[in-house]
Amino acid sequence: MRYCAVVAYDGSAYQGFQRLAQGLPSIQESLERALTAVIGVPTVVIGAARTDSAVHASGQVIAFDADWQGAEVALLRALNAHLPADIAIRRLSIAPDRFHPRFDAHSRIYRYQVYDAVPRHPLYDQRTWLIRHSLDLDLMQQAAAVLIGTHDFAAFGAPTQGESTERIVYRSEWLTEVLTDAIDGLAGRLLSYWIEASGFLQHMVRVLVGGLIAVGIGKLTVDAFIAIFHSADRSRSRFIAPPYALTLMAVTYPAVPGIPDAVRAAVPMSA
C-alpha cells in the first residue's frame, strides 16, 4: 500500500534531502532508516523536492510503500518515535498506488527570511540572513515581479533533471514585518521572500535572493538584474544567499480526486 506524508525538518545537520552514496547524513536516509525499523523491511522514500544542504522544510511531501496493518495515526506515531528530533512527520495518509509526490505536484512554495538590522540578534541567527544595510524594498519588489510567468531561468541555476531550464513562477514577492524591542523600540525588519513555481533549478532560490538583495543594497540596478535574468548565463549571477534561511513551505497538488487531503492540507492559505 502506498502512503504519503508531510514532513518538517531542520536541515542544519544534513547534506540535503536526497540520499548520498558517500554515506553523508541526508533527510531521505533518516526517513528510510525509521521506516525500516518500524516496517521491518528496507523501504524507499520518494520526495517532492530535493532541498539543498542546510535548507529546512515545513511542508516537504514524501511517499513510500509499506505493508502496515494498523491505523495511519499509529504509523505516524511509530515513525516519529524513531526519527531524530530535527525531523517530524506532520501528516500521513493512504495515497493512490500511482501517486508520485514530485511528478504529480503542481508547484513548490519556498520562503527566504532576511533580518534587516544593524546589530545582530541571536534568536534570528539560525533562520535569517543578517543584512546590515538599509534595503530598498521597493526596488527589490520591482525586480522580484519580473520573475513571474514562464521564463528561462538558466541565469539562476542548473537543471536538476534533464536539460530544460524553463520554469513557471506563479508568485514572487517580498513581505515585511517591523520588529520592535521592548527596551528601546525599533529592532529592525524581518523580510520574507515568497516564491511559488512549477519547479526550481539547483540553487535557484538562493541565487535569486542573492541578486535581489544586491538590488536592495545598490550593488545591482533593477535593469542590471533584468539583463542578467534575460542573458540565461549562469556565470553572470555573482550573488548567492546562504542556505540556512531558506525553507520549503509547501508542495501543492491539483484539486482532483485521489490526491490525499493530508497533502493538500499542508498548503498555507496565505503568507
The three-class DSSP label of residue 255 is coil
Amino acid 97 reads D
| DSSP H or E segment with residue 87 | strand 87-94
Catalytic residue among 10, 52, 104, 116: 52
- Helices 204-217, 222-231: crossing angle, 10 deg rounding: 150
Q: Please name the residue ranges forming H helices in the chain.
A: 27-39, 72-82, 137-145, 204-217, 222-231, 261-264
| DSSP H or E segment with residue 5 | strand 2-9
Among 100, 102, 95, 87, which Cα is nearest to 35's? Answer: 87
Is 52 marked active-site?
yes
Cell of 3: 502512503
The three-class DSSP label of residue 147 is coil
Q: How far is CA 192 from CA 5, 86, 170, 213, in A?
A: 26, 23, 16, 12
Catalytic residue positions? 52
